[in-house]
Structure 1
């Protein structure tokens, strides 16, 4: 493996005229595997996700998507928390695999999701637009699409907390975020990441269906005992 593995200019191979770096290729592969495992409610989704966020951190910095870069730090921590939470449910929270069971959001949690999404996007978008002025030595170029990027960051943060708690509605938010991210990365010419988020959208749809099925199966099992 080349020493400059984390350099987006270090090309692994070219497909249909698009130069694909080692960093982007392995970031996409680890991301797809992590989301697929998550949609299956598989505990291994969390450690695979740690690999993905580490690679994505370096990629986003090099394409000036700074909010997305900071988001990976959050994801690194929450992947550890989610791994522990799913594996260690409280008494009465266990599913058939002795892991945390699937459930739905309450009304208050839904309101929090909406309010934090709107206010957080406005605040972080304003900050992201000024990063190159405040820290020119670190951020040499202006943030690309600061408000759209910040929306992805904020909603990803909020829904990740609900994901850790195995809330079904998490997948609805992920569908919205993934659609926007697919467009954003396409515009930024990160084609394989754009393709990855397009696939994420489909996987999020599967995850929504699968978690709802798991919830119904668990509810049916409780009524028969």
Structure 2
């Protein structure tokens, strides 16, 4: 068991606040995500979860993209921002394929090093999180489902290692992901009622 330091607690707080703000569609969430992911680069390599560490390196860049997408008007003429929606049906198979390839490819690479712990579980959780982060940047409601899948796996990892700040963080992540799904679903329903012709394909 590694010694728990201030960085563990900082990552926990930044992550919780960031997810809460993302549920509420606040752009400031992305700054908190950048701080959280940067902290977890160190934490994950410290604990030997290399896919998780590499994921967080990439997530810093994706968070910058998400920040840009949430502040850029989706419609240049009306100035309206991107709206919550379901992921288009044509993209779902591609996302599933990417997760499968990511799990096998990243898992094989990690297993070949002989140092990574639970490489294929780590790779699957990482692949789900990549998909979820991309969906969140596009405000696709399905992001919450894939966050839950990823968070459950990492919750087990950190619980087994007794890294309690991360245990608390991922428990809260799961709760907030459920809350995010419920709130975003209600918003989609409300938008559809106001303008039935604008419903996204499901």
The 2-side partners of 1:93 and 1:63 are apart by 49
The structure 1 segments of at least 4 consecutive aligned residues displaced by more than 6 Å after TM superposition are 92-95
Matched-pair contact (CA < 8 Å) for 2:152–2:174? yes
**Which residues in structure 2 correspond to 1:144-159 (within 5 Å)?**
144-159=117-132
TM-score (norm: length of structure 1): 0.81
Q: Please tell me whether the aligned partners of residues 125 and 149 of structure 2 are also in contact (alpha carbons under 8 angstroms).
A: no
RMSD, aligned CA: 2.0
> Partner of 2:190: helix, strand, or coil?
helix
Residue in structure 1 matched with residue 42 of structure 2 by the alignment: 58
TM-score norm. by structure 2 comes to 0.90
Give 1:220's aligned residue: 193
| Higher RCO (CA-CA < 8 Å; seq separation 6+) | 2
Q: Is the 8 A contact 1:32 1:200 kept in 2?
A: yes
Cα distance in 1 for partners of 2:76, 2:95 equals 26
Matching residue within 163, 166, 170 for 2:143: 170
More helix by share: 2
Aligned-partner SS, 1:130: helix
Aligned match for 1:32, one of 9, 16, 38: 16
Measure, in 1, the Cα distance between the counterparts of 2:13 and 2:26: 17
Unaligned 5+ runs, structure 2? 197-202
Q: Kindly name which structure, 1 or 2, has the bigger radius of gyration based on alpha carbons.
A: 1
Q: In the superposition, relative to structure 1, how do residues 216 and 93 fare at CA in structure 2: closer, same or farther (>3 Å)?
A: farther
Would the alpha carbon gap of residues 189 and 214 (structure 1) be closer, same or farther in structure 2, given more than 3 Å must change?
A: same
The match for 2:165 is 192
Question: Does 2:116 align with 1:143?
Answer: yes
Alignment length (residue pairs)? 196
